Structure 1
Amino acid sequence: MGEPLRVGVVGCGVISNAYLTTAAGTDELEIVAVADLDRTRAEDAGRRHDVPVLDLPDLLAHDGVEWVLDLTTPGAHEEVALAAIAHGRSVYNEKPLCATVAQARRVVDAATAAGVSVGGAPDTVLGTGVQTARAAVESGAIGRPVAATATMASGGHESWHPHPDFYYAPGGGPLLDMGPYYLTALVHLLGPVTAVQGVATRPRAHRTIGQGPRAGEQVPVDVATHVTALVEHASGAVTTLLMSFDAPASLARPLEIHGEQGSLLVPDPNRFDGDVQVHARGDEWRTLPPSAGYAGAGRGAGLVDAARSADRRTTRASADVALHVLDTMETVLRAADAGARLEVASTCDVPPLVPLTDLASRPEA
């Protein structure tokens, strides 16, 4: 059945627990070690998940590490990735791939030159929610897709996160933080993006931390916190996108896809599962059973996907898609500044559909 994919984790913040839990639930990933600039935080993660703790240089130089999982903040992604690539490691970055497209291109170019791979979150799109919706679209259940809406409306992460500073620093904001989930799903469902228009606002200059040791402390807001966009896909479909940290509550559906013969409700792309509902013309809403995707998936499914590939370096959570999504988001913000429709310079290949598979069970040889 082959050896597990050996992974070194850099960054032991809040999201690391989800990745380490997924790794513990499958025999296809082995966490070789964890590292963090805050040694105490790394040691806490090491104790909770029973994995060794190393300093970053030692982790990168460890002969047993094949992939480096970079869970640092976006501003550190390029530096960590380039250091890992220089040691001959493949790299899987949390979203966004890097803080800027220029940084992401340097990482991808370095990996190509070194003969290693780059992957990037989100891998939530590989779960049964988005993949079942994609199977429905590809089967013709709603006819030719013509339009979509994507809505993420939140009051901001400072209400729950004890250290929300990076959400409001360059590389953060609702579009770069949450947009990857929605735009990656839309790329899987409707294909790559060709052009965008946008409007972006920043109603408040500061945010107040709601809980934890820094409760009551204000953090500066240096990015747009409410972004709307029109997104044109190569397929001809057009998406209306809203990403906001200025909306305390909303009843809007996360994703709706509308076709010539029907409509599709797609579950929250920040989750791996959820009900997919379809409404064909002349029919009623009905829930589709899961028909594609990794069942029981969690953060790290993209690395499991790499472990199952023939070369242990190919993942559907690819840098190709992640860079295109980052390029799309950066172009939206430039379009908002310019008040213009701008073409997206990059494109990508849409990864193959994931057959309905239990993530915890290896496929038969």
Structure 2
Amino acid sequence: MSNRGFTLAELLLVLALLGLIMGIGAVGLERMDPGSRGLRATTLTFLQASRDRARASGKPVSLEVVPPAADGSPARLVRYSYRRSLEATFESSARERENLSPVAPAVLDKPGRVGGGLDLVQGGGVLVQGKGGVVRSPHGVVIGIDVYRSENDGAGTLIEWEGLMSLRVRNDGSLDFSVRAGDGRTFARFALSAPSGSMPEGRWHHLVIAAADEQMSIKINGHEIASGILDPVLAEPEGPPYLGDPEGVFHGLIDEFTVWTRFRENGPELREDVLVIFDPPTLRFDRYGLLDAATHNQDPVGVALVEYGDIVDSFWVGRFTEEIGP
């Protein structure tokens, strides 16, 4: 016997047959009560806003339906998206706004990859504190940073975020990335390494490290060179991120540091008698606002609104636009 679950099409067929057997008959938009019509409208609005959020941020957005919580909170649609939480350009004109605290012999506003940069040729580092206090992001974080490794002395810690993560480069150009994650109560350290030669000396590199949605990865100059899995909840950091090696052994330049945090937004609540069904259960938009090809394999996503076991509406979310139909 197969353990495969129903597809949306199969579920719609089963529900329709049940409706005929029970004498309910075919259902259409005219059968919807005002509450269901409102749910349809708010669901579509939430989906379109999610697509727009992905386009605006340049980061992926995912949606799912969460069941009622133990505290009595109703089932609802939720969205996971990203916002810029910290940044540092290292230019003196932005030092107060970015709330940077350099540690000697680090020097700000030296020539970087784009305008001013952080000079760590003699060592040192900087605390990036921002304006909002400690950044907390249990749902995920993505960090972008430009790094230039000095020849012969370009090894050491690049990012040390106490309690949450660290990134280190070795003499052979390999990278070690570690993140603390767990189930929300207990946490463990997850490690990921990039092979030797990934980050040669004497040139600029754009690094993106990510820990979100139970995945961790390292990208260099637009290419993913390592990936792995981790637990769903990230640990809470104990302070701001430190760029550079705490022991002063990394020598080089740093520029354009950005932290994007993944956060959860609550969408429309669902009445006890109403279901919203995605097929597959998680709907994902990529950073261009298109349906994520890796998740959805170029196929449209079916959405069904079910009330008391009766399909009151269904439609498709296409790759480029919402394609609404029975």
TM-score by length of 2: 0.23
Higher strand share: 2
| Structure with bigger gyration radius | 2
Higher helix share: 1
**Which structure ranks higher in relative contact order (CA pairs < 8 Å, sequence separation ≥ 6)?**
2
TM-score by length of 1: 0.21
